[in-house]
Structure 1
Amino acid sequence: MKKILLACSAGMSTSLLVAKMKEAAEKRGTEVEIWAVAQDKAPSEMKKADVLLIGPQMRFMKKKFAVVAEEVGIPLDVIDPVAYGRIDGEAVLNKAIELIGE
């Protein structure tokens, strides 16, 4: 099972995206656990994840999160702003799986 963590400013703006990602995973039969947290909870939650995706409005936090991600051994990236704006769960799921490398 792939564990995908999304981080955003307050942890709420990504909730719809999480739902769309879960729908996309279900359609293709991929087992995933996807959850979103506020930026202050992301460092501790990274220990439970296989990948971290950061909301585009928080791209300035990438370097800070990269330090923790390297410590726990997970990849991270910023969610594509277009996919985020369109709430394109499939595109974001594809990116997460690509980063995990499976």
Structure 2
Amino acid sequence: MKLMLVCNAGMSTSMLVSKIESAAKEQGIELEVAAFPLTQAEKVIDDWDVVMLGPQVRHCLPQLKKATDKTPIEVIDMRDYGLMNGANVLKKALEIVNNK
């Protein structure tokens, strides 16, 4: 699975990337995950299986949805983001991919 995280500059979310990678490794899930700033995300959105937005850019959800008709996009739960709960974010991403 390919999971794209999106935030303003791609920095705060990069911490969450490593937490998600650890959770995936523990669960034996093959995963590619990366953080992108919003401006770059729009250009490569169709290359990913699922896109998850940091809560600080939730207002950009309509803009990103216009950029794709195939990639599901969700906002990361504010609590999971704040606690850097990679396992919960991974679980939500898997649910999205399995239900599309």
Q: When the two structures are superposed, what TM-score results if normalisation uses the length of structure 2?
A: 0.96
- Aligned partners of 1:69 and 1:76 also within 8 Å: no
In structure 2, the partner of 1:94 is 91
| Runs of at least 5 residues in structure 2 that lack an aligned partner in the other structure | none
Give 1:96's aligned amino acid.
A
In structure 2, the partner of 1:19 is 18
Once residues 46 and 73 of structure 2 are traced to their aligned partners in structure 1, the CA distance between those partners, rounded to angstroms, is 13
Give 1:78's aligned amino acid.
V
* Secondary structure class of the residue paired with 2:32: strand
Give 1:27's aligned amino acid.
E
The ranges of structure 1 where at least 4 consecutive aligned residues each deviate by more than 6 angstroms after the TM superposition are none
- Tell me the matched-pair count: 99
* Secondary structure class of the residue paired with 1:34: strand
Once residues 26 and 76 of structure 2 are traced to their aligned partners in structure 1, the CA distance between those partners, rounded to angstroms, is 21
Give 2:4's aligned amino acid.
L
Residue identity (%):
37
In structure 2, the partner of 1:5 is 4
Once residues 11 and 69 of structure 1 are traced to their aligned partners in structure 2, the CA distance between those partners, rounded to angstroms, is 20
In structure 1, the partner of 2:35 is 36
**Post-superposition shift, 1:44?**
1.3
Once residues 75 and 51 of structure 1 are traced to their aligned partners in structure 2, the CA distance between those partners, rounded to angstroms, is 5
| Runs of at least 5 residues in structure 1 that lack an aligned partner in the other structure | none
Matches within 5 A, 1:15-94: 15-70=14-69, 73-94=70-91
**Post-superposition shift, 1:53?**
0.2
